[in-house]
């Protein structure tokens, strides 16, 4: 570690005998050096270890440590809020429907690709909350389900079933707001993506968008609202050594200094190969 704006001053060369002027110069140089150490001059270090950090601001790309205490009002995390201002119909009672988004409100480190795919620029854990405005235009009650898909594959145990009653009249439909949420893991931002799918046993069930209302003035109703928030970085993952890798077994033999001995059978033996430990 070094202070940024000065270096240690060279010490005066001593004479053969005691010299009061030399001692005064030496003390002055040492005094200046320690005064600078006691000052608020910034310092620069490749690494720094301390029990506590007390101060105003921390600026940098990585913070590695135990606990960071503070308000956290200057931290930035990936987040997104996506909507749809379109009706989305069912492709059929035996078909899967992918929710699409055409009105991004916020996109910071999270974005939509190909209308339905939620992509993430950073690996980590993300909290996903999906709100859908379902409408039943039919004369009978219906069922529908919503679930998550990871890279096009159904996410295990992510499905939820809902019931929606029949319409009230030919022009007044029934409505249900369906909400699902969960933590989604991004291991590789280059390949991972999230989709939300739905199905209904009736083609009269829609994701419905409504125009702005009047008397009183009311905002539009989106068919879909999805929010995504960064929750945590991925924890380190270790690959533990499989069986029959590096093994130490037996008993350490007793050796006498100056006497060559061959270790007996069942003495300390080191076999196998050292395992490779990786951090994901």
pLDDT tens for 250-265 read: 666 666 666 666 655 5
Q: How confident is the model at residue 239 (pLDDT cuts 50, 70, 90)?
A: very low
- pLDDT tens for 200-235 read 999 999 999 999 999 999 999 999 999 999 999 987
- pLDDT tens for 65-122 read 666 677 777 778 999 999 999 999 999 999 999 999 999 999 999 999 999 999 999 9
pLDDT given for residue 46 in this prediction? 63
Q: How confident is the model at residue 276 (pLDDT cuts 50, 70, 90)?
A: low
Residue written as token pair 């987040």:
79
Q: How far apart are CA 227 and CA 108, in angstroms?
A: 12
pLDDT given for residue 277 in this prediction? 55
Q: Report helix, strand and coil shares of the chain as percent, to nearest 5.
A: 5, 35, 55
Q: What is the mean pLDDT of the chain?
A: 84
38 CB neighbour count, 10 Å cutoff: 8
**Residue 240 pLDDT > 60:** no
159 CB neighbour count, 10 Å cutoff: 15
Q: Would you say how long the chain is, in residues?
A: 280
pLDDT given for residue 7 in this prediction? 65
What are the chain's domains? 1-75 (no CATH), 79-232 (2.60.120.40), 236-280 (no CATH)
Dihedral over alpha carbons 203, 207, 212, 216 (to 10 degrees): 90
- pLDDT tens for 162-209 read 999 999 999 899 999 999 999 999 999 999 999 999 999 999 999 999
**Residue 153 pLDDT > 60:** yes
Do residues 148 and 184 touch, judged by C-beta distance below 8 A?
yes
pLDDT given for residue 272 in this prediction? 66
Q: How confident is the model at residue 138 (pLDDT cuts 50, 70, 90)?
A: very high
Q: How confident is the model at residue 130 (pLDDT cuts 50, 70, 90)?
A: very high
- pLDDT tens for 8-61 read 677 777 777 788 888 888 888 888 777 777 766 666 666 666 677 666 666 767
């Amino acid at each position: 570690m070094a202070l940024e704006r000065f270096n240690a001053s060279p010490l005066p060369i001593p004479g053969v005998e005691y010299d009061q002027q030399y001692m005064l110069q030496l003390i002055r140089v040492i005094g200046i050096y320690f005064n600078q150490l006691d000052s608020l001059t910034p310092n620069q270090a490749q690494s720094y270890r301390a029990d506590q950090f007390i101060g105003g601001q921390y600026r940098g790309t990585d913070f590695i440590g135990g606990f960071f205490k503070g308000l956290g009002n200057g931290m930035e995390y990936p987040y997104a809020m996506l909507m749809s201002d379109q009706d989305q119909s069912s492709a059929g009672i035996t078909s899967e429907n992918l929710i699409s988004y055409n009105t991004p409100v916020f996109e910071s480190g999270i974005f939509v690709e190909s209308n339905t795919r939620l992509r993430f620029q950073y690996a980590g854990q993300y909290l996903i909350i999906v709100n859908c405005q379902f409408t039943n235009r039919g004369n009978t009650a219906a069922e529908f389900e919503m679930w998550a898909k990871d890279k096009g594959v159904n996410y295990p145990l992510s499905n939820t079933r809902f019931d929606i009653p029949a319409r009230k009249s030919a022009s007044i439909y029934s409505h249900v707001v369906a909400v699902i949420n969960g933590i989604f893991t991004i291991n590789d931002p280059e390949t991972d993506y999230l989709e939300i799918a739905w199905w209904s046993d009736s083609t009269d069930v829609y994701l419905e968008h409504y125009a702005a209302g009047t008397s009183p003035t009311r905002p539009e109703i989106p068919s879909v609202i999805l929010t995504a928030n960064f929750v945590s970085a991925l924890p380190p993952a270790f690959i533990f050594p499989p069986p029959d890798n590096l093994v130490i077994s037996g008993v350490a033999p007793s050796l006498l200094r100056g006497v060559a001995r061959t270790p007996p059978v069942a003495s300390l033996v080191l076999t196998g190969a050292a395992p490779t430990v990786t951090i994901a």
